[in-house]
Structure 1
């Protein structure tokens, strides 16, 4: 009889342990899962700007974008004409250009814009907008904030 109790107790312990391990695996996998990728497609305009000439990023689902009238200090990050978008060489009109985009990797969600294979700038996803920093990321507010226009 004692032997039967020992077998039953051991069986219950094994079942409880298995359930505990499965619970940890399921909750651990759920906690480590990446959130769904944000949809960045659409027209993002400089917050507070309006009209047809408002600075904008027109982001397409095919991973291309068009940038229109982007502030020079935002578009011309490197100061190197050879690796910067057109319009960075002179102090004329704000640059307009096009290129490819990708979702930013790592802990900072957002979108990375490139022109002709060269990184231009990253927009950081924040409260429904894209925040851009020209100087340091340590400042309390972004230098530029772009918001998505409602879909047509």
Structure 2
């Protein structure tokens, strides 16, 4: 390879890295999810919320059953799923979702519960299909955070 060819190849490689690096959307960092997330429009003592801690744990309060009980299997679902209750409260661990859909994945007793998708500064949750135009549940960061 001539010196001129090597220079062109290097320039193309650098340009390719710069262009592809600029088009890749940045994944949210773990600290972007810490805090209290409240169901949009909910308030008061019975507010529906996820409190996400920096130590990768969370507490969920008053989560609607169709959101908390994804599998229908009582052995791998949070408490309240098998009791016919309207909501469930539980805690567990969380991870940042990997792949093309930024968000946070919630686990209870090492079983996947649900993923919240990062949506314009909120967390959107789907209880059915992901093909609907908007999430079934939208959680916003608590104003006290």
Task: Work out the CA distance in 2 between the residues paired with 1:112 and 1:20.
Answer: 40
Q: Is the 8 A contact 1:46 1:146 kept in 2?
A: yes
Higher relative strand content? 2
CA RMSD after TM alignment: 2.1
User: 1:79 aligns to what?
Assistant: 72
Q: Give 1:24's match in structure 2, choosing from 15, 35, 39.
A: 15
Contact 2:28 2:103 (C-alpha < 8 Å) held by counterparts: no
Report what 1:4 is aligned to. Answer: none
* Aligned residue in 2 for 1:111: 104
- TM-score, with structure 2 as normaliser: 0.87
Residue number in structure 2 paired with 1:5: none
TM-score (structure 1 length as normaliser): 0.83
Between the aligned partners of 1:36 and 1:79, the Cα distance in structure 2 is: 31
Q: Which runs of 5+ in 1 are unaligned?
A: 1-9
Give the match's secondary structure for 2:88: coil
Q: Partners in 2 of 1:15 and 1:88 — Cα distance?
A: 63
The answer as to whether partners of 1:42 and 1:151 remain within 8 angstroms in 2 is no
Secondary structure, in 3 states, of the residue corresponding to 1:96? strand
